[in-house]
Amino acid sequence: MKTHRAVLRLSAIAGLALCGCATTPKTATEAIRNASNAVINAEDARAADYAAAEMRSAHEKLNAARALAAQITTDPNDPNRTKARWLAEEAAADAELADAKARKVRTQSVVRSLQPAPSAPIMPPAADLPVAPPPSVDLPVPDAPAPAPEVPAPESAPVPAAPTPDAPAAAPPATGV
């Protein structure tokens, strides 16, 4: 008795699930509205700066969908109806992807800018100063452990003999200024 009821319920669920493959409820107009909103959201997030190809595709497909929608006749079986809806759905998916990519890349670049430089794994610069704010100050420091250095001109004369080999990358910009 119990098992029969379970089988009955399962077969009903299976039947309903399979019926799902025949339904396509959304209209072209609704799809175009969704896509248009998705493109506007992505543009607001400046997604084109980070995902140019996806944004271009979104714009092209949305325009094509609008053009097709303008040609739709009163015939309910007009193929343009379906084509316009598909194009709009793809445009929305492109814009949402562009938006997500932009969010990812933007956050990752902020994280990278806040992380300590990977080229200086040795402790000294981190020990004397807070790491992030003055990155160029660590040049004159290594050979002057005492608080008062003898040479009082840190930015004009960073004598090339003094720097230790641990900061070769930072030297050129400091001398240039």
Query: What burial letters (b/e) apply to 77-104, b meaning 16+ CB within 10 Å?
Result: eeebbebbbbbbbbbbbbbbbbbbbbee
Phi, psi of 164 (to 5 degrees): -80, 160
Stretch that binds other proteins, among 68-76, 111-119, 142-150, 160-168 (CB under 8 A): 111-119
* DSSP-assigned letter for residue 1: -
Binding mask 68-87 for other proteins (x = CB under 8 A): ------------------x-
Which token pair is 92?
Answer: 């929305």
CB of 48 to other proteins, least distance (A): 15
Write the binding mask 113 to 132 for other proteins: x where contact by CB under 8 A, - elsewhere. Answer: -xx-----------------
Closest to other proteins by CB, 100 vs 129, is 100
Three-state SS at 81? helix
Using CB under 8 A as the binding rule, whether residue 133 contacts other proteins is answered as no
65: left (phi over 0), alpha (psi -120 to 50) or beta: alpha
Binding residues for other proteins, rule: CB under 8 A, are 1, 4-5, 7-8, 11-12, 14-15, 18-19, 21, 86, 89-90, 93-94, 96-97, 100-101, 103-104, 107-108, 110-111, 114-115
